[in-house]
Amino acid sequence: MKKYLFFFSALVFIGIGLNYFLFREEFYSVSKLKPTSSLVILERQVNRKIERRKRGYAKPDKPDHYINYLRSLVSLDGQSAYQEGYKMKALESAMLRRQSLKSSSEKLPWIQRGPGNIGGRTRCVVVDPDDPTKMTWFAGAVSGGIWKTEDGGVSWDIISPDIPNLATVCLAIAPSNTNVIYAGTGEGYYNVDAVRGDGIFKSTDKGNTWSVIESTSGNNLFYYVNSLVVSHIDENRLWVATNQGVFKSDDGGASWEDSGLDRGDRYQRILIHPFNDAVLWVTRNNKGIYKSEDGGDHWFLVYDMSSLVPERIEIAVAANDPDVLYAMDVNSNFYYSQDGGTEWGKSVENGTVTEFLGSQGWYNNVIAIDPTDATKGFIGGIDLYRFQLGNEIASSGRQAFSVENNMTSWLGFEYFGGRYSNGGVEILEGFQNQLSEIQIQFGPDKVQKAHRLVKKPSEPDFNRNVADDLGSLTYAGYNDVPFRVVDLSTGVQLHVSYVDGNENGSFDIYEGGYEFILIHDVPYAEEAANESVVSNGGAYETMVALYPKLIEGVVWATSGLPEGDLRIRSYELKNRELEASRISKWSAFKSASDYVHADQHNITILEEVGDPFSIVVGNDGGVFYSSDGGDHWAHKSKGYVTSQFYGVTRHPKRYQYFGGLQDNGSALSSVNPNGLSEWEDVLGGDGFDVVWHPRKTTQLMGSYYNNLLQKSVDGGFNWIDTYKMIGDNGDDGSAPFITSIASCLADPDLLFVGGKSGLWKSSDFGDSWKNIQMGTYWGFTSNSSPKVAISEADPDIVWAGVRVNALAGYEIGRVHVSMDGGESFEDIEPFANMGAITDIVTHPLDRETAYLVFSLANRPKIVRTTDLGVTWEDITGFGLNNPRASSSNDFPNVAVNTLLVMPFDSQTLWAGTEIGLFISEDDGVTWTYANNGLPAVSIWDMKIVGDEVIMGTHGLGVWSVKMEPLSNDIKHPFIHNAGINPSGNYVLHTIFDVALDSFELYNDKGLVRTYRTVKAEDRVLTIPSAEGISEKWHIYGYLNGMKYSSNVRHLELTAVSQALVAYTNKFDEDDGLDDFVGSYFSISRGSFSSNAIQSPHLILKIWI
């Protein structure tokens, strides 16, 4: 080292050394980036979220980042090997083993910390019909289970606490027995945290207890139950629409009948007629709308939308006028029907399609109809809209038909694959492009001759589908039939044919018979059959095919038939005007009467209460309510703790929590919150990992998707875009969607995030970043999430990885380890093909021990090394070399998200899984389900902060528990800075927050000296330069036999600038912000109109 460096160092030490030594708390430098308020952040990030969805991140027509990320955790080839119903089976098995143990599990004093005001995504809300006030509601959260309120959302209780990760997406109360409630599970949408369900659950005591319907548990036909309806008269009859088909049960779900519709497609919404069990409608994504008029035994496609590429299709029927229905596709195209869903027109606003759904109709898309006026209703997309159907405006370009039966007392239609009248009437090519009205007249004098058709002898039996059977007919005679057919638009009588199913030489209708009528666009001639009809077996100018049947109890007689007629009318379908207005704003202040959280999924109208009625809405923020028909709104999620956390942390000294949530940005709690406490939004978008600096307690780091990191230096009031200094950010494929931030208590300024180019390292808590290249075996893909862990036992040890796999044909990846604080890494030869890494955890005391967490089925879930990666062992009982489908030490075969090693007893391990918490008290030799007071919920994040273990769950908010001997005191020593004094000696400013038994000082040459008595103090250590030149310093502290590492500090050698005799800075130019630095202040606009020096002081915070 050159002498002039010592001279410069001496001057630097004299000039700024006192400043460092006198002040250590809350010191931070001014960022080059301007801070932004939480309000601006919130609006900006939700707009980013909307734009991200517009660009197709989660379109349901192809796999993409969202669904692939979750798949990557549980599969090597895109297909999960988990067996059907594995979560419920694993939990039940673990509970039984727990009960068989002689010692009962100790209940810990868990506290639910909320947020009490941030509900999770809610796709269904139903109202108890027995409550005259209509204030008893049941709500289903997609990963938080089923909840109930009896006071209109003032307070809530979970009523499904023992069902893990119950992704409730639809609820239905049986009208004939309101104690019976069905719950369909499985969120079949392409969002990042979509939860596969486990069939249908049932309650027979109005939600007090629930049990899975066994026929649906573990049945892939019921993984995603998108909607279900129950009979008006039979509590055991229900119909469901799933991602695999449409199914009907007549015995409460014990057995199921297939609808006959094509398997494997997403059937989105099923509706039942408000008064008639026989009539149902169902939508099939990318296909269209089907209708049944015989209770779901047969279905016919009433609106083929496949040419429109509609993707997800939603539908609603008017409760008081069931002839009126509305539908909407993924692109906000709005359709109407005024004939019970048979014919559909389009409705547009000012000649254009209004973007109700914000280009994300695959995700949020819901319709409800005004109970007082069927021409009005509500649309839920990103926001809520009120609509009214207007006048006819233009032709739809579609020919429409109606069938009018004026003989319903004795005549109906049997299904044979037609499109109209329960599939008993089909319009054929001969009726296309005509505007006519065909009348089939019955009565004593209504007779004409018809072509008698029978099945060709060479053809197989009829399959009773008109499209197939028309080609198997041959002419057999010309005889009288007891009806007459007339084209009313011209007055011309028309030729007809009939199929003589029993070949008795006459037309008759009878039970089980198959005799149908064909009407030809050929003028009638009584004296002779039409030669073209004869020669083509009835397939000539055929307009209509009808398959009539007798109403039960009616006897067929060819003479004396009652007077009456059937009419089939062709008309030109018109489009209609649509008037719409937005009635909610996600971007409004939360106190505003029009504020409703973004992304609507459910609209339930309460006709009996309110003025003119009330509305309950479920969305990504929980439950909202209007008592005046949608003019004003109130948030009704108080205590509805269903928020979905990805990351959580806590203030180092007090019980204040900070976390990143799905759909709800990042939020900050009050001090010592409970389950009802309100949290404040501080960042928008989707929130992910978070860090709270353990020493500079006003500094926080938050994140949202794609490595978009935000830093606050004033406790969460203003935020700085630190991601702008990271190369791998944004949605160009270089950054992971799930942002993970590595930090540690021993070296609190040290942070890492991962991306395509490798790692990004910050040594100053995000003020600056440098790229660390990771080489050939990094294994990054855009749907992955790199994991990094800094050793608490020695911050020079850093682990990083994306996946562990050497299997040909799959993404190759290795875990990497650094011995120099993350400056360089070595990859470790894969010990097995393990797939994506879910988490990396280090041992709190042993620098050479680390854990890798995985989620593949039938493979090890947690593997451990005790020699820095030279060897590995599976501690979950599945086996590394020849993995088995079940564990030998009772670890569940489920996805694992995180792990904790208790610092006070490293034999105690806590594993956070998708079905709850599992514990080993013997260093991984055996495992048991905790059952210690924490519900069975998916745990995404666990941390020890101060005297608590804190949990971020994906569905039930944040939980914490105090544990002895954890404390809020930081036992790790801290080297605040290191320099060289004018005498050339090393000077270290150290901080000891607690008294230690001793500590050892190391440099890059090894142990320098040992100090036997250590008080809780700030301590300056002076080391003579004669003991050797060193630029790297490190301390190990000892207390009660435990070893605590400090951070690693390098010498800070700073060049000396030329002295100035005067200095002026108005802080109004970006360049002027960078050359003025000091303790206890920052430079920002704060609450003022221009930049200024801001000292720490109380600020009135106004939160939205």
Domains of the chain: 119-383+583-624 (2.130.10.10), 399-574 (no CATH), 969-1050 (2.60.40.10)
Measured distance CA(326)–CA(315) in Å, rounded: 6
pLDDT band at 63 (very low <50, low <70, confident <90, very high): very low
Model confidence at 521: pLDDT above 60: yes
Q: Tell me the pLDDT tens digit for each residue of 504-517.
A: 999 999 999 999 99
pLDDT band at 147 (very low <50, low <70, confident <90, very high): very high
Measured distance CA(449)–CA(527) in Å, rounded: 9
Q: Tell me the pLDDT tens digit for each residue of 1025-1054.
A: 876 677 899 999 999 999 999 999 988 665
Q: ω before 612 within 30° of 0 (cis)? A: yes
Average pLDDT, the chain: 88
* Residues in the chain, total: 1104
**Closest of 343, 361, 248, 349 to residue 294, by C-alpha:** 248
Q: Tell me the pLDDT tens digit for each residue of 706-722.
A: 899 999 999 999 999 99
Region 562-583: mean pLDDT is 94
Model confidence at 282: pLDDT above 60: yes
pLDDT band at 102 (very low <50, low <70, confident <90, very high): low
3-class DSSP state for residue 25? coil
pLDDT band at 188 (very low <50, low <70, confident <90, very high): confident
Beta strands in 321-431 (DSSP E): 325-328, 334-337, 345-348, 366-369, 376-380, 384-405, 411-413, 425-427
Class of residue 1090 by CB neighbours under 10 A (exposed 0-12, middle 13-18, buried 19+): exposed
Measured distance CA(283)–CA(384) in Å, rounded: 22
pLDDT of residue 884: 86
pLDDT of residue 48: 54
1045: left (phi over 0), alpha (psi -120 to 50) or beta: beta
- Going by the DSSP 8-state scheme, the letter that residue 305 receives in this structure is -
**Most confident stretch, 188-192, 432-436, 750-754, 983-987:** 750-754
* Pairing outcome for strands 564-582 and 437-442: antiparallel
Model confidence at 198: pLDDT above 70: yes
Model confidence at 1059: pLDDT above 80: no
pLDDT of residue 195: 65
Q: What does the DSSP assignment read for 80-129?
A: --PPTTHHHHHHHHHHHHHHHSSSPPPPP--EEEE-TT----EEEEEE-T
Region 311-321: mean pLDDT is 95
Does residue 271 or residue 1005 have the better pLDDT?
271
pLDDT of residue 770: 96
Q: Tell me the pLDDT tens digit for each residue of 576-587.
A: 999 999 999 988
Q: Tell me the pLDDT tens digit for each residue of 672-718.
A: 999 999 999 998 878 899 999 999 999 999 998 889 999 999 999 99
Q: Which amino acid would we find at residue 27?
A: F
**Closest of 596, 585, 663 to residue 189, by C-alpha:** 663
How many CB atoms are closer than 10 A to CB 448? 18
Model confidence at 39: pLDDT above 90: no
- Going by the DSSP 8-state scheme, the letter that residue 21 receives in this structure is H
User: Locate tokens 């639910």: which residue?
Assistant: 112
Measured distance CA(941)–CA(922) in Å, rounded: 22
pLDDT of residue 1084: 67
Q: How many helices (H) and strands (E) does the chain have?
A: 6, 77
* Pairing outcome for strands 600-606 and 473-481: unpaired
Region 80-86: mean pLDDT is 79
User: Locate tokens 């409760």: which residue?
Assistant: 319
CB 516 within 8 A of CB 395: no
Measured distance CA(850)–CA(795) in Å, rounded: 13
Region 914-929: mean pLDDT is 97
Q: Tell me the pLDDT tens digit for each residue of 825-877.
A: 999 999 888 999 999 999 999 999 999 999 999 999 999 999 999 999 999 99
- Global pTM? 0.85
pLDDT band at 1072 (very low <50, low <70, confident <90, very high): low
pLDDT band at 983 (very low <50, low <70, confident <90, very high): confident
Measured distance CA(270)–CA(182) in Å, rounded: 14
Measured distance CA(294)–CA(412) in Å, rounded: 11
User: What percentage of the chain carries pLDDT values higher than 90?
Assistant: 71
Q: Tell me the pLDDT tens digit for each residue of 364-397.
A: 999 999 999 999 999 999 999 999 999 998 888 8
Model confidence at 207: pLDDT above 90: yes
Model confidence at 911: pLDDT above 90: yes
pLDDT band at 8 (very low <50, low <70, confident <90, very high): very low
